[in-house]
């Protein structure tokens, strides 16, 4: 690996996911202290703090970087705060990585934490008719699960997927989540329970849609040399991609009211979601065949199946086959969401992409306990969220 | 405006009601013809290869193919309006693909059509719709509804 992509994941830490309603900075400081302890570093060793923001209640994440720094005791380290919807954590990691690669810092703490109200995500208050997120709720009542229902129904029409296929994803992820001490939902679930849970947005039922959760995750990134001195240089960030979509978008992705018109411009060869992992693969010099495990943003069970195809684990339309072969379960050829996924965690937006890297790091170090993917050397994490945000991160063993 | 119902907030210039019918209006880039729905609020063409800054209203096709659909079984949070002392009424949402424009436009399905009546591939048509604001005032929006008797994917007539 060239010096250009040598940023080490020296430490990882999490606060369990749940629904307690405590201040997000409390969760974040627990995760940050755990990540620093994991790296064998102290808070005063940190040269930059990057906080992942959520946009709610006026101040973005209560100005995340500084709020988390204050929670740990201000010691003068510079802060940065990032917002990129579900890709927030990836953007925070990217900022940290860029500082290290530019030689501006050797030790960067990246933290994402959130306290999330129960129920549907809702836009910030006030009348904002120039905001597509406000408009989709105000005019259509189109919640996030409504969009997910559209995508799931489309998959059923195109690929012949069934509700039972979607339920099998939940069964798989609940089994993995039951083994993860940081997961919020730690009980195995059978398909019948999934298929008897209340319908939320046809064809998706309650247990096929991720909950909203409290939670936090933190990562200490360091330069390669610094990590080597700490003897914490086993796991490297090999690529982070966070491209925007390209015009024209072919799908009516949330929060927009329409796709782009393809009448005057041809779409790119890859959809936005396909482009995320492929950009990261290209930057890391690998292909999907090199991936040992993946953490994908399973906002719904149906969406996990979409990701299998979009990150290149199988051909379009073959995701159900891959699932039913057991390839993506623990013990399979390429486990997906060995952590239990959002299915077992729920969504704490600014923490999620960082939590994905925590899981991949533990797996690549061989520290994942009962969830361990044998011999894992390369992992990929992907997500997609509002406003054309999305990202992919490739993590590899040195 | 045919019946005097004012456009819902934020939708001024998004549709036109006339004796000839109800149409959605896209913004059409005057330089390259790129269509945007809703019309863009920031000057500039959505196509990164075009330097056009102006758009003109362009009626969209009023029929299309049902790309996908879902329903809302639980009340969405505000700002979805909920008039006082009313029960939440579930509604379906449609994503309709317009052939000429090669774009997919979302909308609520007309309230008399349950989600169970929808099939991906059906032909859908645009219709004026009405939302009730949180103070109980009628607001004009657009709805999609099935065109009875034809399935665009199978080409078969059905009841």
Res B1: pLDDT:
46
Nearest by CB: A153 against B41, B48, B70: B70
Distance CA B9, CA A138 (A): 8
Contact B121 A157 (CB under 8 A): yes
Q: Provide the number of CB pairs (under 8 Å) joining chain A to chain B.
A: 148
Question: CB contact, 8 Å: B69 with chain A?
Answer: yes
Residue of chain A whose alpha carbon sits nearest to that of B122: A157
Confidence band of B156 (pLDDT split at 50, 70, 90): low
Contact B33 A252 (CB under 8 A): no
pLDDT in tens, A347-374: 999 999 999 999 999 999 999 999 999 9
Question: Residue A61 has what DSSP assignment?
Answer: T
Chain B positions touching A206 (Cβ under 8 A) are none
Least confident of A216-230, A253-267, B81-95: B81-95
Model ipTM over 0.85: yes
How many Cβ atoms from other residues are within 10 Å of residue A113's Cβ?
33
Distance CA B72, CA A146 (A): 7
Question: CB contact, 8 Å: A200 with chain B?
Answer: yes
CA neighbours within 13 Å on the CB side: how many for A85?
18
pLDDT in tens, B105-122: 999 999 999 999 999 999
Mutate to test the interface with A, among B43, B104, B109, B144 (most CBs of A within 10 A): B104
Least confident of A26-35, A272-281, B143-152: B143-152
Confidence band of A5 (pLDDT split at 50, 70, 90): low
Beta bridge partners of B76: none
Confidence band of A57 (pLDDT split at 50, 70, 90): low
Question: CB contact, 8 Å: A104 with chain B?
Answer: no
How many Cβ atoms from other residues are within 10 Å of residue A137's Cβ?
24
User: How large is the average pLDDT for residues B122-147?
Assistant: 96
Confidence band of B154 (pLDDT split at 50, 70, 90): low
Whether the model pTM is above 0.90: yes
Chain B positions touching A257 (Cβ under 8 A) are 37-38, 105-106
Confidence band of A2 (pLDDT split at 50, 70, 90): very low
Contact B93 A157 (CB under 8 A): no
CA angle B65, B71, B77 (to 5 degrees): 125
Contact A261 B34 (CB under 8 A): yes
Question: CB contact, 8 Å: A143 with chain B?
Answer: yes
Chain B positions touching A142 (Cβ under 8 A) are 76, 93, 106
Nearest by CB: B46 against A153, A252, A260: A260
At residue A40, what are phi and psi to the nearest 5 degrees?
Answer: 75, 30
| Strand blocks (E) in chain A | 7-18, 48-52, 79-82, 107-114, 199-201, 204-205, 214-223, 235-241, 293-296, 378-384, 390-397
């Amino acid at each position: 690996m060239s010096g250009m992509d040598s940023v080490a994941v020296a430490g990882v830490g999490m606060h369990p996911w749940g629904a307690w309603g405590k201040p997000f900075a409390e969760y974040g400081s627990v995760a940050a202290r755990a990540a620093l302890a994991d790296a064998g570093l102290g808070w005063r060793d940190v040269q930059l703090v990057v906080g992942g923001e959520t946009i709610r209640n006026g101040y973005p994440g209560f100005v995340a970087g500084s709020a988390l720094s204050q929670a740990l005791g201000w010691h003068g380290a510079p802060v940065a705060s990032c917002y990129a919807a579900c890709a927030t954590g990836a953007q925070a990691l990217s900022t940290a990585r860029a500082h290290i690669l530019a030689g501006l810092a050797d030790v960067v703490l990246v933290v994402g934490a959130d306290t999330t109200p129960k129920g549907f995500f809702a836009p910030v208050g006030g009348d904002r008719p120039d905001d597509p997120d406000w408009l989709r709720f105000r005019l259509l009542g189109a919640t996030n699960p409504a969009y997910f229902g559209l995508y799931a129904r489309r998959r059923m029409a195109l690929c012949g997927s069934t509700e039972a296929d979607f339920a099998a994803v939940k069964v798989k992820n609940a089994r993995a989540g039951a083994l993860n001490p940081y997961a919020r939902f730690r009980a195995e679930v059978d398909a019948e329970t999934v298929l008897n849970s209340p319908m939320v947005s046809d064809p998706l039922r309650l247990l096929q849609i991720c909950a909203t959760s409290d939670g936090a995750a933190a990562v200490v990134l360091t330069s390669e040399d610094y990590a080597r001195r700490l003897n914490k240089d086993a796991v490297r960030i090999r690529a982070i991609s966070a491209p925007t979509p390209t015009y024209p978008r072919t799908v009516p992705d949330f929060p927009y009211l329409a796709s782009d018109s393809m009448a005057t411009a041809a779409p790119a060869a890859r959809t936005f979601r396909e482009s995320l992992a492929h950009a990261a693969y290209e930057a890391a010099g690998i292909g999907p065949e090199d991936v040992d495990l993946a953490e994908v943003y399973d906002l719904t069970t149906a969406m996990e199946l979409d990701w299998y195809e979009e990150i290149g684990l199988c051909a379009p339309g073959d995701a159900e086959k891959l699932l039913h072969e057991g390839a993506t379960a623990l013990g399979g050829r390429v486990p997906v969401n060995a952590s239990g996924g959002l299915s077992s965690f729920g969504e704490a937006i600014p923490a999620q992409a960082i939590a994905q890297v925590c899981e991949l790091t533990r797996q690549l170090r061989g520290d994942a306990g009962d969830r361990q993917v044998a011999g894992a050397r390369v992992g990929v994490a992907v997500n997609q969220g509002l406003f054309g945000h999305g990202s992919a991160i490739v993590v590899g063993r040195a | 405006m045919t019946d005097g119902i004012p456009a819902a907030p934020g939708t001024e210039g998004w549709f036109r009601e006339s004796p000839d019918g109800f149409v959605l209006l896209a913004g059409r880039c005057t330089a390259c013809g790129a269509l945007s729905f809703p019309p863009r609020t920031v000057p500039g063409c959505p196509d990164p290869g075009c330097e056009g800054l102006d758009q003109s209203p362009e009626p969209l096709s009023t029929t299309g193919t049902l790309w996908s659909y879902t329903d809302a079984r639980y009340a969405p949070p505000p700002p979805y309006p909920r008039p006082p002392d009313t029960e939440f009424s579930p509604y379906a949402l449609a994503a309709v693909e317009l052939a000429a424009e090669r774009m997919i436009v979302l909308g609520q399905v007309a309230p008399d059509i349950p989600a169970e009546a929808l099939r991906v591939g059906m032909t859908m048509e645009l219709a004026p719709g009405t939302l009730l604001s949180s103070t109980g005032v009628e607001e004009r929006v657009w709805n999609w509804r099935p065109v009875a008797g034809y399935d665009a994917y199978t080409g078969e007539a059905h009841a």
